[in-house]
């Protein structure tokens, strides 16, 4: 998958695709052509157990990783959404702080994900 300007694959969906790739069989390659340093979420996913290697503008994801819950802090909407998806498939509990910005791109995300069976909650407190 390669991110491109419209009508190509949107860079804002790249992190979510990476979360999906951690659960797919085989190897996925993601090429980021819009923004530099757009793989910031990859290190968080690797802490969760994902098999990801970054080289320049490309990320290689070896799929069917067993992810484990962790604590994350993200400030970019799409990246947070990718971590939410990774957290949903991870064993244990995942806490993602500073997600207030996620509402800009994903109105009612908690309710919508609960609606399809996700075990997710928003806890208000410092930084949430």
Q: Over the stretch 65-115, which tens digit does the pLDDT of each residue have?
A: 999 999 887 666 667 889 999 999 999 999 888 777 788 888 899 999 999
d(CA 30, CA 105): 22
By mean pLDDT, which of 45-49, 70-74, 120-124 is the weakest?
70-74
The percentage of the chain sitting over the pLDDT mark of 70, rounded to a whole number, equals 92
* Burial degree of 120 (CB within 10 A; 0-12, 13-18, 19+): middle
128: CB partners within 8 A, 6+ apart: 97, 98, 99, 100, 122
Domain ranges of the chain: 11-115
pLDDT for the residue 125: 62
11-115, CATH topology level = UDP-n-acetylglucosamine1-carboxyvinyl-transferase; Chain (3.65.10)
Query: Averaging pLDDT over each range in 54-58, 92-96, 118-122, which range is the top one?
Result: 54-58
Beta bridge partners of 32: none
């Amino acid at each position: 998958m390669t991110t491109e300007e419209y009508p190509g694959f949107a860079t804002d969906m790249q992190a979510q695709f990476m979360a999906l790739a951690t659960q797919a069989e085989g190897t996925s390659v993601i090429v980021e052509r819009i923004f530099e340093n757009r793989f910031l979420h990859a290190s968080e996913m690797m802490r969760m157990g994902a098999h990801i290697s970054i080289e320049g503008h490309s990320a290689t994801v070896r799929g069917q990783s067993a992810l484990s819950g962790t604590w994350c802090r993200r400030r970019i909407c799409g990246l947070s959404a990718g971590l939410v998806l990774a957290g949903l498939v991870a064993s244990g509990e995942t806490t993602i702080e500073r997600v207030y910005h996620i509402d800009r791109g994903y109105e009612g995300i908690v309710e919508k994900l609960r609606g399809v069976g996700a075990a997710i909650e928003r806890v208000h407190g410092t930084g949430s």
